[in-house]
Amino acid sequence: MSATSLLQPTDAEALRLAKTLLRSARHGALATLTPQTGAPQVTRVGVSTDFDGAPVLLISGLAAHFPALAADPRCSLLLGETGKGDPMAHARITITANARILEPDDANTPRISARYLAHNPKAKLYAGLGDFRFVRLDPVAASLNGGFGRAYALAGADLLSSADPALAAAEGHALEHMNQDHADAVDIYARYYAKAPGGKWVLTGIDAEGIDIADGDDVRRIFFDKTLSVPQDMHMTLVQMARTARGALMAV
């Protein structure tokens, strides 16, 4: 039996799982090629995503994988948390990508920095150091394993969503507004949509397909019923989600 015959047809459930693993990850294992020998090396890295879902790393120039990516941008990133029992039974995804190291004066750096630090707030301790750079990984392909008997081959585009600049520009204000003025709504999102216990939940990301929330080390992904098209959709969708969740929780 060939490896190809073991693959499952890619469906909406598989794509949602892949994007959940990607959007909720705060760290992963990065594989690069050592410049001197061409040998593979694997290191642990902090992970976030750009607005469209592409993985984003924050890497020190002193780290072994920095010169490796500068010499050869080809890399792969393994994401997925283990839990109780057999670690091989838990979902994970390996993303093959091409890395782009961003300079501080790159036009995309402020947006990517804001998203990264909202997702990984502890990185604020070193993000401003002169030798650190943000690195965007442009996905080429991905291998998704949802557990035994659930293997999928994905295209890089399967992991991405809208990169509309107007939507991306609206995210920062929406995050600040929701976390400062509507913390109760964020808690309601967590309890109703993510089936999570109440706590000190904060909104860490909003993109065209959903929101990311976190309470300490607990990170959850919530998908919208409908993909956002224009900035106004962001406000309207969050308001309607809060109304729906509040009404459902009060009815219990």
Q: How far from 74 is each of 40, 77, 97, 155, 184, CA to CA, in Å?
A: 11, 10, 6, 16, 43
Question: Do 20 and 105 lie in a common domain?
Answer: yes
Which distant-in-sequence residues (6+ apart) come within 8 Å of 196 by Cβ?
Answer: 190, 215, 218, 220
Question: Do 211 and 193 lie in a common domain?
Answer: yes
Mean pLDDT of 77-104: 91
Domain boundary among 101, 132, 159: 159
Domain boundary among 125, 159, 193: 159
> Which pair of structure tokens corresponds to residue 179?
């976390």
- Determine the pLDDT at residue 27: 97
Mean pLDDT of 33-53: 96
- Determine the pLDDT at residue 1: 47
> Which pair of structure tokens corresponds to residue 236?
């309207």
- Determine the pLDDT at residue 87: 84
Which pTM does this prediction carry?
0.94
The 10 Å CB-count burial string (b at 16+, else e) for 193-211 is bbebeeeebbbbbbbbbbb
Domain boundary among 159, 184, 209: 159
- Determine the pLDDT at residue 90: 85
Question: Do 10 and 58 lie in a common domain?
Answer: yes
Residues in the chain, total:
252
- Domain of residue 77 covers 4-159
Number of compact structural domains in the chain = 2
Averaged pLDDT score across all residues of the chain: 94
Give percent above pLDDT 70 in the chain.
Answer: 98
**CATH number of the domain that 34 lies in?**
2.30.110.10
Q: What pLDDT, in 10s, does the model give residues 161-218?
A: 999 999 999 999 999 999 999 999 999 999 999 999 999 999 999 999 999 999 999 9
User: How many other C-beta atoms can be found within 10 angstroms of the C-beta atom of residue 37?
Assistant: 8
